[in-house]
Structure 1
Amino acid sequence: MAGLIIHEWIERHGGSENVVDEMAAAFPDADIHCLWNNAPDRYPGRSVTESWLARTPLRKSKAAALPFMPATWAATRVSKADFVLISSHAFAHHAGGRQTPDGPERFVYVHTPARYLWAPELDVRGGNVIARAVAPSLRRIDRKRAQDGATFAANSDYIRLRMERSWGVEAEVIHPPVRVEYLQSVPSWADRLSAEDAYLFSTLPSEYVLGASRFVDYKRLDVAIRAGELAGLPVVLAGAGPQHAELQALADAATVPVIIMTRPSDELLFALYQAASLLVFAAVEDFGIMPVEAMALGTPVLVVAEGGASESVLALNGGVVVTSLDDASLRNGVTKALSVDMAPAQAAAGAEFGLETFRARLISWVTSSSVRT
């Protein structure tokens, strides 16, 4: 099948780009189209085209380009493709306009309906002056375009429900790919560290609570510190971002040692997962890749009930889901998580969330459309 893969914009790093990587692997003959491509060497040997926005200064500002995206996608020609596979977290699902009887079927994999429109309380971009001004009209357009006849999949049940509330459409759930096979191919990531990373790793305590993510407010890394204090365990925070100074102040005031590992390499992050007693992941995420990575490496996870991260923890029985972050709930959750037998979760992670599983589910979803229709 000669298809067309569509994605919002392509960057060198990003969770949604990792999904597009697997879409490209599943359908090697498909071309790719995006608003603009900031990683021109990401898909060698494949046709990757850009919209008119790529030839303007708007490509440097997603906020400024926002009002132009719906019309740009709606005007995108898709008629020459046998099928269209769309990766959407903003307006890419508008591509091609209304589904026509003689046009290619469109399959939309939704990371989330644009959060700055439909869940602004979870996305600081929703407070942007431009976003607030255009949000009412964009919501009307977005809902209408979502009902134009595409077939939808959501990356979690949490997002499936958001799509239902926001757009009034149904979707099946296909969890995003996690590099489980790669993570589990190395018995000890500590043995793969550079000399510098190996030294840093050697300075860590033998037991610790891990918090890992970008250092931004909604990631709630403060909860990892509090969990360590309640359990009497040291804490390691891994990442980087604008909240670094605030987290450093919390670390300095904590009743347990708190070590901040800034911008760890992939190998160091994986070693941190393997050595941690527990990963505390308190962010409300659409899915949450990091908890699956930790569980795949044998580390239990504590997550909050709201958001998609709870789905993977429950699917693998690889930790604890808490409904509240008050001290009593957090202390009880940490105690339970530390006692979880992780062998079954580690063994099941690949079959549930691995790359091959994602590709198989994706191909089945696309190729079985004739059965549904």
Structure 2
Amino acid sequence: MIVHEWIERTGGAENVVEAFAELIPSAPVICLWDDAPGRFGAERVRESALARTPLRRSKALSLPIMPAIWRTRRCSNIEWALVSSHLFAHHVRFANAPNIDRFVYVHTPARYLWVPELDERGSSGPVRAVAPLFRSLDRARAQEGAELAANSRFVAERIRQCWHVDARVIYPPVNVERIQSVADWAGVLGPRDRATLDALPREFVLAASRLVRYKKIEAAIDAGRLTDTPVVVAGDGPDRERLEAMAETSSVPVYFLGRVNDELLYALYQRCAVYVFTAVEDFGIMPVEAMAAGARVVGNRIGGVSETVVDGVTGALCDPDDATELRDATAVAASCDPNASVEQARRFDTHRFNSNIVEWLGSERIRDRAALPSNMGGGS
């Protein structure tokens, strides 16, 4: 049995569930609702009653009843559950099988309940009003005896502080093998994407992400200005207008590409002088993707990126709000060996993730042995 909050079309949590689903192909996927029909197959996904109500269109409005729904699920022939949680999925309890073993992969305790300074949703009046009650309930559910795994040491420490329990660390899967399967992604671009790439400067600082405030894209613009290097921004979102206004006053050109496909993104990783990613992230998949393509990364020394980027080897870590640190980190990262980035990224490939999950669950729990890759073994 695989359990997940709700299914989105894209997202790091969904990538984890997809890896779970491939590893255990016979397991149904239990969720509150499915916004990506067909991703796991309609016959495999089992939505909650909430999916048949208008509340599925509003996470904020449905949040108060989610804990109760997770406590009243029913499923036949269930022996154990593998849970993907970033809100309340770890509360799950099956009414007809209350004592099964649960293995909970924690992307984070709900950020807007526990660390609202990192998630603007936590600053709203309604959330602040109910947060103390939900935190108490959330901690109690986390202490019910499930085996916990965190997606980074950063999150494991948050689990310890918020829930008062320990968790092992299993880094999430990154499709490193696919990225490294093409030596030069520019060579496989279609005409339009190739023209976009060719129109860019020979050397540039890259930012690629959803354009929302907590991603701190302005740090990339600052890094370009401080090192007199043009900046390329790939992605879109509600913060784009503010960033474009900032770019107009920059002393270096800033190019906004909007959303790009994977092939162009990988080509940008391969071409950039440095990739700047200074958000405080729980893990941070894109910096690992960038390293897989050979990019050198400027990252925040706080958060999951500090566990993937090797300071002074595959990039540099800094306080992005300190101009001197940001300038120096950009210069250090640009001098690093791209081959070191390529090698470092392989530590986070999907095969390593699968091995660690099997070790955690115990291979005896995965009865469909055909699902286990031939190179399954230990690892960390």
TM-score bracket for the superposition, by shorter chain length = over 0.9
Instruction: Give me the CA root mean square deviation.
Output: 2.0
Deviation by residue 1:5-49 (Cα, 9 ceiling, x = unmatched): 000001111111111000011111211100001112001375210
Opposite residue 358 of structure 1, the aligned amino acid is: F
Opposite residue 356 of structure 2, the aligned amino acid is: R
Opposite residue 270 of structure 1, the aligned amino acid is: Y
Deviation by residue 1:49-88 (Cα, 9 ceiling, x = unmatched): 0111001101000000000011111222357322100000
In 2: Cα distance, 1:317 partner to 1:183 partner: 20
In 1: Cα distance, 2:312 partner to 2:352 partner: 15
Q: Match for 1:278 among 274, 280, 283?
A: 274
Is 1:190 matched with 2:186?
Answer: yes
Secondary structure of the structure 2 residue equivalent to 1:314: coil
Is 1:359 matched with 2:342?
Answer: no
Secondary structure of the structure 2 residue equivalent to 1:211: strand
Contact 2:231 / 2:255 at 8 angstroms: preserved in 1? Answer: yes
In 2: Cα distance, 1:312 partner to 1:176 partner: 11
Number of the residue aligned with 2:204: 208
Distance 1:294 1:215, change over 3 A: same
Task: Note the C-alpha offset of 1:344.
Answer: 2.8
Number of the residue aligned with 2:288: 292
Distance 1:359 1:137, change over 3 A: same
Contact 1:302 / 1:322 at 8 angstroms: preserved in 2? Answer: yes
In 1: Cα distance, 2:154 partner to 2:252 partner: 35
In 1: Cα distance, 2:199 partner to 2:319 partner: 34
Number of the residue aligned with 2:249: 253
Distance 1:175 1:69, change over 3 A: same
Number of the residue aligned with 1:174: 170
Q: Alignment identity in percent?
A: 49
- Residue range with higher mean Cα deviation, 26-35 or 78-87: 78-87
Number of the residue aligned with 1:21: 18
Q: Please give the residue correspondences for 1:68-217 in structure 2 after superposition, counting only pairs within 5 Å.
A: 68-77=65-74, 80-96=77-93, 103-217=99-213
In 1: Cα distance, 2:73 partner to 2:146 partner: 15
- Residue range with higher mean Cα deviation, 192-201 or 268-277: 192-201
Q: Match for 1:228 among 219, 224, 227?
A: 224
Number of the residue aligned with 2:234: 238
Structure 2 alignment gaps of length 5 or more: 366-380
Opposite residue 143 of structure 1, the aligned amino acid is: R
Question: Between Structure 1 and Structure 2, how many residues are aligned?
Answer: 365
**TM-score, normalization by structure 2:** 0.92
Secondary structure of the structure 2 residue equivalent to 1:236: strand
Distance 1:78 1:45, change over 3 A: closer
In 2: Cα distance, 1:323 partner to 1:210 partner: 18
In 1: Cα distance, 2:286 partner to 2:294 partner: 13
Opposite residue 232 of structure 1, the aligned amino acid is: D
